[in-house]
């Protein structure tokens, strides 16, 4: 029976490389997967899932008006799994489309993304994944500054100083964000 999975973690927890690994495992067995990613993420190029270790794969970009359910339903051939990167940037309607894919088409959907933003608030996509996912799993990484588990994402400016206000979405990597524990989030050793 298909399920909706949400795998979340702080920055640098290996979410994108995990998608690429899962896709590879299915494809190695001649099973078809569809890979999607938020069109908001343009770090590498829109329509690609890219990991920091240099691996990448083409993906269908999800824009605000994209109907993922319709794309999956009209896809020719059997689909074994739907994989979604950067799920935090999606909207409630996209998450509801994932539930339709699982419940009506009996295809598992695995969504990967951040749970909380740099202000330690939930993203819309993450909020609804937490509410509707059948299985939720944290992907762990360590704090940028100490040995504790990172549970938060710290936004930094060009000088490396922490920022706690501003627009929720600002695309960036290690130049803009650090994975940090709660203690270092509140009192960064910068």
Which of the residues are catalytic?
86
DSSP secondary structure letter of residue 71: H
Report how far apart, in Å, the C-alpha atoms of 94 and of each of 30, 66, 163 are. 27, 8, 30
Rounded to an integer, what distance in angstroms lies between the CA atom of residue 128 and that of residue 6? 10
Within 10 A of 48 (CB to CB), how many other CB atoms are there? 18
Q: What is the β-pairing status of strands 152-156 and 135-139?
A: unpaired
162-163: strand order across its sheet: 162-163, 152-156, 177-180
CB 109 within 8 A of CB 132: no
Unique residue bearing structure tokens 């795998």: 7
Residues in CB range of 129: below 8 A, 6 or more apart: 4, 6, 8, 87, 95, 111, 113, 136
φ/ψ of 110, rounded to 5, equals: -115, 115
CB 107 within 8 A of CB 72: yes
């Amino acid at each position: 029976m298909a399920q909706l999975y949400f795998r979340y973690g702080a920055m640098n927890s290996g979410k994108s490389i995990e998608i690429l690994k899962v896709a590879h495992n299915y494809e190695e067995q001649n099973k078809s997967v569809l890979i999607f990613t938020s069109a908001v993420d343009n770090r590498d190029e829109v329509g690609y899932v890219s990991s920091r270790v240099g691996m990448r794969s083409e993906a269908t970009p999800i824009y605000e008006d994209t109907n993922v359910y319709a794309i999956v339903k009209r896809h020719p051939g059997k689909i074994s799994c739907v994989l979604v990167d950067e799920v935090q940037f999606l909207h409630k309607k996209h998450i509801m489309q994932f539930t339709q894919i699982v419940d009506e088409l009996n295809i598992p959907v695995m969504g990967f993304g951040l749970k909380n933003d740099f202000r330690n608030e939930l993203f819309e996509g993450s909020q609804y994944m937490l509410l509707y996912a059948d299985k939720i799993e944290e992907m762990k990484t360590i704090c940028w500054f100490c040995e504790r588990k990172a549970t938060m994402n710290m936004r930094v400016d060009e000088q490396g100083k922490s920022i706690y206000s501003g627009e929720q979405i600002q695309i960036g990597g290690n130049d803009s964000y650090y994975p940090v524990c709660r203690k270092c989030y509140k009192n960064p050793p910068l």
